[in-house]
């Protein structure tokens, strides 16, 4: 089973006095239902209606920007291409369990995400089950390891790879606080850095497996400083790094996002892909596939890879144009949830760079003993809609595993993300990051892909960027 998220045109769904309970139900956020009623869009959006600010994109960055702008007294309109909110987060169900097809975990010390969780009284809970063995690549092929020994070895390798992270990122939320140290390291791909380490061929395979998976299939694409900054943000320790994939919010990402959206009291128009943005100097006109809207200010909160599909007049600043052409969101990634059984069902599995499945991580156990596991593929040769192909690919990396069913989302082929999480490539920190964070005319840009702190692969960065864009918008209006 596969459900690509290709919702595009169709009649805009316009909120008209939607009650809080109805809204929460519509977006599946039952965990926070029951609070007081509010208004989401008191009147139909139309070409005649203008707003204080138009926010394009209802992911965490856009919804946070809208909430902050509302708090400052502005009336926001949110235009969203899909038929749902959440963007690269997508809470749904599989085999009777709530799952995430996009962003899944939050980390207790992520300051921006934690502030939102605290504000809305949403707890983080740890995963339900832990792996009971491990599969890792070796020069002789995929092999089974005792989980404790594999974890110890992997942690030592990560500490070696990021041995100089404290010099590179002494203040991790300010990625250029040690500019001269960073300037040398920023030229390196993860592959170049890993191949320079004095470690065994097998150890390199382990690190390259992780690097390739995060980088969208090729360890040469991901920048060393991108992952080194995440390591620094996680406290420069293996324990911190492990915690990045340990905690999820009660009710799923949609529960948190819906609470932020309710506070934005925004008009939300779904099924409205924006195709053109014209900044006249005195106002901005935004054209979707079905309507045109005008406002004094706009927050562009779509993924950086999507900027290249929108016609901007005047054109995008040079750094934005370069970033969207090169891409900040990593290509090729398909996230899967696998229902599995067999002797390897509860294994932590890392496939070698180039394998069709790079990672399998057990998450839940069902009452009949089956395991639900998260899986990732960055190899376009795998047809994730073909169960026997998925079974064969899983068997190669986790011998003995039986795949009973799969649900997946191919983020690289999704027209409204054109990639998965953001991850800078070599040189993109120094050459592009500060510039793409800047507003242009009456436009501000918001997305995790351009955050200062938890950049790219983290919801925390989306929230940070949404706050920044709101501040930039308010400072000039």
Annotated binding site: 80-81, 274, 376
Handedness of CA 239, 331, 415, 443 (dihedral sign): positive
> Which of 88/204 has CB closer to ligand FAD?
88
Beta strand residue intervals within 390-460, DSSP E = 402-410, 443-445
What are the CA-CA distances from residue 253 to residues 68, 129, 187, 319 (Å)? 19, 20, 35, 31
Residue nearest ligand FAD, Cβ-based: 59
Pick from 249, 416, 453, 470: which binds ligand FAD (CB under 6 A)? 416
Nearest distance, CB of residue 90 and ligand FAD, angstroms: 9
Which region, judged by CB under 6 A, interacts with ligand FAD, from 155-163, 259-267, 386-394, 411-419? 411-419
What lies within 8 Å, CB to CB, of 239 at 6+ separation is none
Annotated binding site for FAD: 80-81, 274
Kindly state whether residue 327 participates in binding ligand FAD, applying the rule CB under 6 A: no
Binding site for substrate: what residues are annotated? 376
- Please say which residue, 157 or 306, places its beta carbon nearer to ligand FAD: 306
When binding is defined by CB under 6 A, the residue of 105, 206, 241, 307 that contacts ligand FAD is: 105
In whole angstroms, the minimum distance from the beta carbon of 246 to ligand FAD comes to 10
Q: Judged by CB under 6 A, which of 65, 79, 256, 284 binds ligand FAD?
A: 79
Between CA 407 and CA 97 the distance in angstroms is 12
Interacting stretch for ligand FAD, rule CB under 6 A, among 31-39, 114-122, 303-311, 379-387? 303-311
As measured in angstroms, the least distance from the Cβ of 135 to ligand FAD is 21
CB of 99 to ligand FAD, least distance (A): 12
Is 242 or 400 the residue whose CB approaches ligand FAD more closely?
242
Comparison of 317 and 331: residue with beta carbon closer to ligand FAD: 331
Please state, in angstroms and rounded to a whole number, the distance separating the CA atoms of residues 344 and 50: 57
Is residue 210 helix, strand or coil? helix
Q: Which two tokens stand for residue 375?
A: 């899986």
Out of 98, 104, 112, 350, the residue judged to bind ligand FAD by CB under 6 A: 104
Q: Name the DSSP letter for residue 413.
A: G
Using CB under 6 A, pick the residue from 67, 74, 82, 320 that binds ligand FAD: 82
Q: How far is the CB of 248 from ligand FAD (least distance, A)?
A: 8
Distance, CA of 321 to CA of 278 (rounded, Å): 16
Residues 160-189 that bind ligand FAD (CB under 6 A): none
Among 99, 208, 306, 397, binds ligand FAD (CB under 6 A): 306
Measure the N-to-C terminal CA separation of the chain; round to a whole number of Å.
48
Strand-strand pairing, 91-94 and 97-100: antiparallel
User: CA-to-CA distance for 463 and 32, rounded, in angstroms?
Assistant: 20
- Roughly what angle, to the nearest 10 degrees, separates helices 60-71 and 253-264? 30
* Residue of the chain from 316, 345, 457, 470 that contacts ligand FAD (CB under 6 A): 457
The span from the CA of 457 to the CA of 274, in Å, is 24
State how far the Cα of 101 lies from the Cα of 94, in Å rounded to an integer.
Answer: 10
Q: Which of 243, 379, 417, 437 binds ligand FAD (CB under 6 A)?
A: 417
Q: How many residues does the chain have?
A: 477
CB 318 to ligand FAD: min, Å: 21
CA distance linking residue 371 with residue 368, whole number of Å: 9
Phi, psi of 360 (to 5 degrees): -130, 125
CB of 273 to ligand FAD, least distance (A): 4
Asked if 418 touches ligand FAD (CB under 6 A), the answer is no
Q: How far is the CB of 449 from ligand FAD (least distance, A)?
A: 6
- Nearest-approach distance from CB 243 to ligand FAD, in angstroms: 11
- Min CB(64)–ligand FAD separation in Å: 8
Q: Report the site for ligand FAD in 376-395 (rule: CB under 6 A).
A: none
Q: Which of 447, 452, 468, 472 binds ligand FAD (CB under 6 A)?
A: 447
**From candidates 261, 319, 459, 470, binder to ligand FAD by CB under 6 A:** 459
Rg of the chain over all Cα atoms, to the nearest angstrom: 22
Residue 121: Cβ within 10 Å count: 9
- Which residues make Cβ contacts (< 8 Å) with residue 35, sequence separation at least 6? 20
Q: Is residue 277 involved in binding ligand FAD (CB under 6 A)?
A: no
Kindly state the smallest distance separating residue 81's Cβ from ligand FAD, in Å. Answer: 4
**What value, to the nearest 5°, has the Cα angle with vertex 471 and ends 469 and 472?**
65
Q: Does 312 bind ligand FAD (CB under 6 A)?
A: no
- Position 56 contacts ligand FAD (CB under 6 A): yes
CA-based nearest residue to 214, from 378, 69, 404? 378
CB atoms within 10 A of CB 238: 19
**421: contact with ligand FAD by CB under 6 A:** yes
The pair of three-digit structure tokens given for residue 219, joined into one six-digit string? 């360890």
CA dist., res. 232 & res. 165, Å (int): 6
Number of residues that bind ligand FAD (CB under 6 A): 39
State the Cα angle at 190 between 187 and 192, rounded to 5°: 70
Q: Which residues bind ligand FAD (CB under 6 A)?
A: 56-62, 79-82, 87-89, 102-106, 273-274, 301-303, 306, 310, 333, 335, 411, 416-417, 420-421, 447-448, 457-459, 462
């Amino acid at each position: 089973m596969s459900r690509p998220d290709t919702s595009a045109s169709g009649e805009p769904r316009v909120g008209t006095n939607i009650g809080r309970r109805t809204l929460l139900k519509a977006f599946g956020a039952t965990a926070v239902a029951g609070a007081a009623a509010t208004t989401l869009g008191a009147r139909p959006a139309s070409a005649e209606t203008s707003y204080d600010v138009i926010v394009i994109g209802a992911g965490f960055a856009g919804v946070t920007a809208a909430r902050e702008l509302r708090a400052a007294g502005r009336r926001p309109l949110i235009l969203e291409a899909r038929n749902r909110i959440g963007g690269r987060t997508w809470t749904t169900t599989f085999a009777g369990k709530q799952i995430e097809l996009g962003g899944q975990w939050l980390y207790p010390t992520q300051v921006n995400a934690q502030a939102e969780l605290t504000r809305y009284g949403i707890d983080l809970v740890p995963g339900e089950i832990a792996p009971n063995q491990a599969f890792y690549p070796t020069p002789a092929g995929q092999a089974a390891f005792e989980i404790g020994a594999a974890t110890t070895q992997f942690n030592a390798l990560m500490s070696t790879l990021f041995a100089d992270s404290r010099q590179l990122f002494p203040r991790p939320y300010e990625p250029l606080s040690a500019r001269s140290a960073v300037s040398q390291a920023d030229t390196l791909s993860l592959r170049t850095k890993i191949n320079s380490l004095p470690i065994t061929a097998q150890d390199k395979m382990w690190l390259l497996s992780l690097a390739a998976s995060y980088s969208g299939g090729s360890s040469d694409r991901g920048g060393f400083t991108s992952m080194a900054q995440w390591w620094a943000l996680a406290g420069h320790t293996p324990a911190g790094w492990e915690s990045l994939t340990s905690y999820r919010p009660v009710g799923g990402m949609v529960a948190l996002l819906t609470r932020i959206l309710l506070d934005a009291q925004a008009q939300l128009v779904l099924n409205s892909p924006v195709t053109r943005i014209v900044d006249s100097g005195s106002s901005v006109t935004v054209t979707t596939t079905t309507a045109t809207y005008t406002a004094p200010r706009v927050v562009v909160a779509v993924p950086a890879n999507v900027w290249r599909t929108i016609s901007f007049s005047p054109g995008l600043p040079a750094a934005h144009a370069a970033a969207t052409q090169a891409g900040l969101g990593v290509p090729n990634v398909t996230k899967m949830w696998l229902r599995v059984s067999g002797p390897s069902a509860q294994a932590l599995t890392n496939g070698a760079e180039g394998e069709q499945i790079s990672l399998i991580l057990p998450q839940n156990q069902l009452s009949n003993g089956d395991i639900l596991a998260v899986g990732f593929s960055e190899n376009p040769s795998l047809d994730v809609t073909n169960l026997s192909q998925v079974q064969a690919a899983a068997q190669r990396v986790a011998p003995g595993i039986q795949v009973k069913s799969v649900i997946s989302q191919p983020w690289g082929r999704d027209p409204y993300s054109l990639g998965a999480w953001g991850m800078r490539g070599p040189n993109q920190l120094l050459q592009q990051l500060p510039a793409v964070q800047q507003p242009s005319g009456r436009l501000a840009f918001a997305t995790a892909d351009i955050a200062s702190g938890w950049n790219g692969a983290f919801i925390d960065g989306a929230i940070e960027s949404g706050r920044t864009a709101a501040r930039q918008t308010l400072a000039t209006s």
